Amino acid sequence: MKVDLNQVEEACRELYIRALKMLPPDIKQGFRRLDSSETNATGKAILGTMIRNIAVAEDTNNLLCQDTGIPIYNVTIGSNVIVDGYALKQAIVKGCARATKEHPLRSSVVHPTTRKNEHTSCGRHVPVINIDFVPAADILAIEMIPKGSGSENNSWLKMAIPADGIDAIKTFVVDCVLEAGGKSCPPVIVGVGVGGTADLCVHLSKVAATRPLGSVCADPEGAKLEAELSAVVNQLGVGAQGLGGDSTAFAVHVETAATHITMNPVAVNMQCHSARRARATFTPQGVGYGY
């Protein structure tokens, strides 16, 4: 399958706008689940306001949140896909910039030292583009995630001591959730990376934080850890927007990687309650959109 790069550019433009305006069904279901079990009156009221905000944004074709985030595009390429890799990345950048200029969206991307804003949501190494490969032959998939700063600012890495074992991981995650408090606009998805190198561990925490609710870590030990931590974090009392209650997190997601015998890295990355994402899938039959 040969990829039409003009279609890629147009899709990446459309994905950014879709992600900012339409919350995925699994997150809406997560809200309903938390709302049905919330016992704190303040927490119940805040969840109700959040749910109403989602409905108003979608009914009026407005943004779910004013923070358009750091744009992230996750690309998976099938084994029978023919595409110029460099040109593919350029098409993604062009689509991202067009979305910001043509819609228009607030550009949240600036140079790290001068703070100059090009008003394109693009800059050096931004949008972030991650590319992976899948065995499905005739598929190119692009997932767009606008990662807001409120959640991204709450990111941590700890090079734990292997001898401290699983308890060090659990304690670190709980401490991070408590330190974040209301700053990540909870209820959140708590992404946890375990293993690998320092940079891989942080990347895995981002992958975990942006996974759909209801998905499970492919590593059985990681799945066990995320179930245990998911049960714990909503007992901390942080609650919606950090004002108390049972709804601190939709879930804790864990991703793992093999690591060195003398290392035990663990990273935490938060995803706020506006857990936005959109997906385009290219096949020989055309382009389909979803989450």
My answer on whether 225 and 170 are in the same domain is yes
If one counts the domains in the chain, the total is 2
Q: What is the largest CA-CA distance in the chain?
A: 55
pLDDT score of 104:
83
- 212 burial via Cβ count (<10 Å: 0-12, 13-18, 19+): middle
My answer on whether 221 and 191 are in the same domain is yes
Enumerate residues 6+ apart whose C-beta is below 8 A from 234: 246, 247, 248, 249
Query: 268 φ, ψ to 5°?
Result: -130, 135
Q: Is 280 a member of any domain? A: yes
My answer on whether 82 and 161 are in the same domain is no
Q: Is 42 a member of any domain? A: no
My answer on whether 154 and 266 are in the same domain is yes
Extract the tokens encoding 137. 């032959």
Q: Is 174 a member of any domain? A: yes
User: Are the C-beta atoms of 2 and 271 separated by less than 8 Å?
Assistant: no
Range of the domain at 113: 5-20+64-148+276-290
**Cα–Cα dist 31/164, whole Å:** 35
My answer on whether 201 and 94 are in the same domain is no
**CA trace torsion 219, 208, 170, 245 (10° rounding):** -130
My answer on whether 167 and 188 are in the same domain is yes
My answer on whether 156 and 239 are in the same domain is yes
My answer on whether 139 and 125 are in the same domain is yes
My answer on whether 140 and 74 are in the same domain is yes
pLDDT tens digits, 206-227:
999 999 999 999 999 999 999 9
Low-confidence ranges of the chain (pLDDT < 70): none
Extract the tokens encoding 140. 């190119």
- 124 burial via Cβ count (<10 Å: 0-12, 13-18, 19+): exposed
Q: Is 228 a member of any domain? A: yes
Extract the tokens encoding 216. 């499970």
CATH of the domain at 116: 3.30.1330
